[in-house]
A and B are shown apart, each in its own frame.
Chain A
Amino acid sequence: MAQPRLSAVTRLFTRVGVTVFGGGDPTIAILQREFYKRDWLSPEKFGIAFGLARLTPGTNVLAFCAATGWYVRGLPGALAAVLAITIPASVLVVWLTRAYDLTTRDPLAQSIANALVAAAVGTMLGAALLLVRTQCSRRQWLRPITIAVGAFVLAYFIKLSPLQVIGAAAIVGFLWAEA
């Protein structure tokens, strides 16, 4: 794994913080892909950060950012990640709160917001596929595909909460050891 500079961590989280719309899930999806591309975080550490973030009170994605920042650069990394992902977005949310009536009536702002949410949807689906693909090999493909599809079914059709799905995946992961 490559150890990035603190400035690179700050840059990535700032960028994701201001460009990703649609809430915490697309943010995690994009960060996963960017970590994979940069070779910053092992899949195991990503899994731990993802699972524990759901167990942490508050906004899960911020706990996820603190954990991944901590893994790549220790406490300064955690601080940089959380500050970078929240400060510019918070400034924007204050502005949007002030100008709410204006922005909701402006067709241009509406059109841009709709396009960005559509991009977030494609991004999440693309990142999900990439995530499973990186875990598959010739020797081992049944386990990751079964768990991913199972998680989707439990969350989407059976309506289990993310925390329950992660709990179920952890039990399966414990009982069904990797080849």
Chain B
Amino acid sequence: MNLLILYLLLVKATLTSFSGLASLPMVRNDFVVRRHALTDRQLSTAVAAGRIGPGPNGIYVVGIGYLVAGAPGACAGWLAMITPAFLIIPMLRFLGARAEHRRARSVARAVLVAGAGLMASAAMPLARDAITGPLSFAIVAASFILMAVTRVDSLWVMLGAAVVGILSLQF
């Protein structure tokens, strides 16, 4: 498949969705149903690889690009993933000094703390998957305390969890 067409199809899917995996139905329709460029199994592989790796769930489009057209396809997928992100800059420019208004600050702070509620809510389904026994519960508890109470760098929390994951197989 032509790289430009690959990019345009993927950017159409990312531009018309508002969260990582919401672009999936359109990607499936374009690549699996209409163009037969991918099988359903390949699509699931890219989605699963996107979920088990680091980064946002929407990163699966890079895997789609790779499966369709190799490394150049992965680059087209990456470009399609990041293109919509920059649309936020004109919005920020438009807000500009208006954001300094007292009411606007009050709204921004309300949205900020609502973000805490949303984060906690998003953690719940992940917690159901992640907590499989006392050890994973201990990792959740330890990372919670380290993040909320101390100033320890998040890198060490993640590396520590990875080391616990390795050690748990040895004992």
Bind each other: yes
Residues of B within 8 A of A (CB): 14-20, 45-46, 48-60, 62-63, 66-67, 71, 74, 77-78, 81-89, 91-92, 95, 99, 102-103, 105-124, 126-127, 129-132, 136-137, 139-149, 151, 154-155, 157-162, 164-166, 168-169
What chain B residues lie within 8 Å of A123 (beta carbons)?
143-144, 147, 154, 157
Tell me whether A121 and B131 are in contact (CB under 8 A): yes
Tell me whether A93 and B50 are in contact (CB under 8 A): yes
Tell me whether A47 and B54 are in contact (CB under 8 A): no
Label chain A's interface by main secondary structure: helix
Determine how close the nearest CB of chain B comes to the CB of A39; give it in whole angstroms: 12
What chain A residues lie within 8 Å of B81 (beta carbons)?
58-59, 62, 86, 90
CB contacts between A and B, total, < 8 Å? 392
What 1/0 mask marks residues of chain A from 15 to 30 whose CB sits below 8 Å from any chain B CB? 1111111111111111
Tell me whether A16 and B53 are in contact (CB under 8 A): no
Residues of A within 8 A of B (CB): 15-30, 32-34, 37, 43-67, 70-71, 75, 78, 82-83, 85-87, 89-90, 92-94, 96-98, 100, 103-104, 107-108, 111-133, 135, 143-144, 147-156, 162-163, 165-166, 168-170, 172-174, 176-178
Given A56-B84, A59-B59, A148-B116, list of 19 further CB < 8 A pairs? A18-B54, A21-B52, A24-B58, A25-B118, A43-B112, A44-B99, A47-B107, A51-B111, A58-B17, A62-B56, A94-B63, A111-B168, A117-B126, A118-B136, A118-B140, A122-B141, A133-B148, A154-B117, A169-B110
